[in-house]
C-alpha cells in the first residue's frame, strides 16, 4: 500500500486521511535518480530490500514505516530517497 503525504503538525481531519508517525531512530537512507517517479520508487525499494539490507551486517529492518520521497524533479529526471528504519543486529 502506498500513501501520498506531507510533513505537518496539523491534526488529521476526515475519514480519507491518516496520520503516520515516523519514530526517532536509525534509518538506512538510499538515494537515487530515474526518468520517472514510479521508476525511482521501484529502484530505491529494490536497492534497499534486495541489495543493501541483505548484505548489511550491522543493522536489520524493523518493519516500517518506510518513506520514499522525491527530493527534486525536472523535465528529464526525478531524484529521491528511501528511508528504511533499522535496528542494530
Cell of residue 14, nine digits: 476526515
- Sign of the C-alpha dihedral, residues 43, 46, 52, 55? negative
For 31-80, where are the alpha helices, taking DSSP H only? Answer: 37-47, 53-55
Residue 4 has pLDDT above 80, yes or no: no
pLDDT at 2: 66
- Count of the separate structural domains present in the chain: 1
Query: Could you tell me which residue, 19 or 28, shows the higher pLDDT?
Result: 28
Domain assignment of residue 52, given as a range: 26-88
Residue 56 within a domain = yes
- What number is the average pLDDT over the span 13-41? 90
- What number is the average pLDDT over the span 46-51? 96
Residue 81 exposed, middle or buried by CB count within 10 Å (0-12, 13-18, 19+) = middle
Residue 61 within a domain = yes
pLDDT at 1: 60
- Residue 59 banded pLDDT, cuts 50, 70, 90: very high
pLDDT at 76: 96
Cell of residue 86, nine digits: 533499522
Residue 7 within a domain = no
Amino acid at each position: 500500500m502506498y500513501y501520498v503525504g506531507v510533513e505537518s503538525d496539523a491534526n488529521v481531519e476526515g475519514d480519507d486521511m491518516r496520520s503516520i508517525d515516523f519514530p526517532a531512530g536509525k534509518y538506512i537512507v538510499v538515494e537515487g535518480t530515474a526518468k520517472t517517479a514510479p521508476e525511482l520508487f521501484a529502484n530505491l525499494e529494490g536497492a534497499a530490500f534486495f541489495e543493501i539490507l541483505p548484505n548489511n551486517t550491522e543493522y536489520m529492518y524493523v518493519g516500517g514505516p518506510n518513506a520514499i520521497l522525491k527530493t527534486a524533479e525536472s523535465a528529464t529526471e526525478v531524484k529521491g530517497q528511501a528511508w528504511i528504519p533499522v535496528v542494530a543486529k
